[in-house]
A and B are shown apart, each in its own frame.
Chain A
Amino acid sequence: MSTIHKSPWLLHYDGSSCNGCDIEVLACTTPVYDVERFGVINTGNPMHADIFLITGGINSQNASVVKQIYDQMPEPKVVIAVGTCACTGGIFKECYNILGGADTVIPVDIYVPGCAARPESIIDGVVKGIGLFKEKAAALEAKQKAQ
């Protein structure tokens, strides 16, 4: 029985965000919301992370960076796009350098809307993401057995 859903460590990447969502993400770790009670740790390192939390849209500069970081995360992993910009590109969508939401470069599992997204909805997204881990872990196990 996998325990990954009990200790999801997350990596927070700030794309071309206005920083509104970033502040809300950090608010989740404060005493008021305290995501650590779910075992969540805000790591700074993709190699240790299970959840990839992206705020802000993807532009031509950071597309390769997001892709690279995603590749450096070990399976099973979940990607959560936080805020309207990360979901679709938001109000920056028509800018010359914006490619769109996070799903333009990597597969996104959970979309958390809002401008800025509320801490409650972010936590809700994370908990939904945690729910995905069970099946992802099982899929990985099956894949490893098949090899």
Chain B
Amino acid sequence: MTVQTRIIFAICYIILAPFVIGLLDGFDRKVSARMQGRKGPSVLQPFYDLKKLFEKEFLTANKAQLFMVKSYLCFILLSGVLFFAGFDLLMVVFSLSTAAMFLVLASTSTHSPYSSQGTHRELVQMMACEPMELLVAVGFYLAMGTFKVSEIAVNSKLGVMYLPGFLVGFIFILTIKFRKSPFDISTSHHAHQEVIKGVTAEMVGKEYAYVTLAEWYENAILYGIIGLFFINSNPLSIIGVVVAILCVWFLEILIDNTSARVKWQLMLKLAWGVTIVAAGMNLFLLEMIKG
């Protein structure tokens, strides 16, 4: 991959990701509403919300919060650039967990009961997801012989053929990552109100807008990883990628609308259980094949 293509991909990510993910979010709300027998808001609603949040008056419970939130956004952007410019997948995961730490520090800096409660649940969520994220990187390394996203993407092999268990595990933790029911316990992606919006409870106006934006950028990376399972050197595989991402997107909406929130204990056990069973078995088989 030349430097120019890397830069082009990175810039595309920075510019396009919020639009694409925002739009997907808008359709998400529309589809959810239809599933519930409602009409639902406009598909541009997420953008209206974001713009509004930037325009609101800025209130603050602790001055430290704003720069932590901004750092969170910057680190997510950095991880995204690393991913879409084709660098090391493991580094992307590490960088994402550093970013998440800033979110945690931002929300606990206020000494608020709701955001503190939400933060600790958020920490549990991070703990539930992290093994699977790392394992995905490991899986790609085993199947393709490299951690580099650029090399994985143009490989002659199709990732999903070798890594079905990893894909299942990853889709499972995506529900947690997207803050969808039944795992919307630290905060939720829309209207639901567990612990007064948990992590973001004390974030006002633009702070909340930054977090929303960061989440869009993060979701772009996560969809990107899904895409990585379906891409290979054949240009036509792009179609497969788009179809796969849309399927996963729809599946998450379906799960969101058909399940009730669980306790964090159950979430942790389920996430780790699925990780060990699905990804662990797949890992073991891959090692066997490798010899």
Q: Do chains A and B touch in the complex (CB under 8 A)?
A: yes
Chain A positions within 8 Å of B, measured between CB atoms, are: 2-4, 6-7, 31, 34, 36-39, 41-45, 47-48, 50, 72, 74-76, 137, 140
Specify which chain A residues have a CB less than 8 angstroms from the CB of B111 in the assembled complex.
none
Could you say which of A36, A43, A137 contacts B41, with CB atoms under 8 Å apart? A36
Residue on A with the closest CB to B190? A41
Chain B interface (Cβ < 8 Å from any Cβ of A): 29, 33, 36-42, 45, 48-49, 51-52, 55-59, 114, 190-191, 193, 196-197, 200-205, 208
> How far, in Å, is B192 (CB) from chain A's closest CB?
9
A42-B191, A74-B205 known; A31-B55 Cβ under 8 A: no
Q: Is A6's CB under 8 angstroms from B52's CB?
A: yes
Majority SS at the chain B contact face: loop
Q: Give the contacting residue for B52; candidates A3, A37, A38, A72; CB below 8 A.
A: A3
CB <8 Å contact, B45 and A47? no
Q: Do the beta carbons of B42 and A31 come within 8 Å of each other?
A: no
Which of B48, B57, B58 has a CB less than 8 Å from the CB of A3?
Answer: B48
* Chain A positions within 8 Å of B45 at CB level: 6-7, 39
Q: Which residue of A lies closest to B59 (CB)?
A: A74
Q: How far is the CA of A43 from the CA of B193 in the complex (A)?
A: 7
Across-interface contacts of A75 in B (CB, < 8 A): 56-57
Closest to A30 in B: B38
- Measured between beta carbons, the chain B residues less than 8 angstroms from A42 are 191, 193
List 11 A-B residue pairs with CB atoms under 8 Å apart, sorted by A's residue number.
A3-B55, A6-B45, A6-B48, A7-B48, A7-B49, A36-B29, A42-B191, A47-B202, A47-B203, A48-B208, A50-B56
Contact residues in A for B204 (Cβ distance below 8 Å): 47-48, 74
B55 pairs with A36, CB closer than 8 A: no
In whole angstroms, what is the CA distance A140 to B203 when docked? 20
The answer for the CA separation of A44 and B191 in the assembled complex, in Å, is: 9
With a CB–CB cut-off of 8 A, which chain B residues contact A6? 42, 45, 48, 52
Chain A CB within 10 Å, residue with most, of B45, B55, B190: B55
Contact of B58 with A74 in the complex, beta carbons under 8 Å: yes
A38: chain B residues at CB < 8 Å are 41
Q: Establish whether residues B40 and A43, one from each chain, have CB atoms under 8 Å apart when the complex forms.
A: no
Q: How far is the CB of A146 from chain B (nearest CB, A)?
A: 14
When distances are taken between beta carbons in the complex, the residues of chain B under 8 Å from A39 are: 41-42, 45, 48-49
Inside 8 A of A137's CB, which chain B residues have their CB? Answer: 55
Contacts of B38 in A (CB 8 A): 31, 34, 36-37
CB contacts (< 8 Å) of B58 on chain A: these are: 74
> Once bound together, how far apart are the Cα atoms of A42 and B202, in whole Å?
17
The interface residues of chain B lying within 8 Å CB-to-CB of A2 are 52, 55
**Pick from B33, B59, B202: contact of A36, CB under 8 Å:** B33
Find chain A residues with CB under 8 A from B39 CB.
34, 37
What residues of chain A lie closer than 8 Å to B203, measured between beta carbons?
47
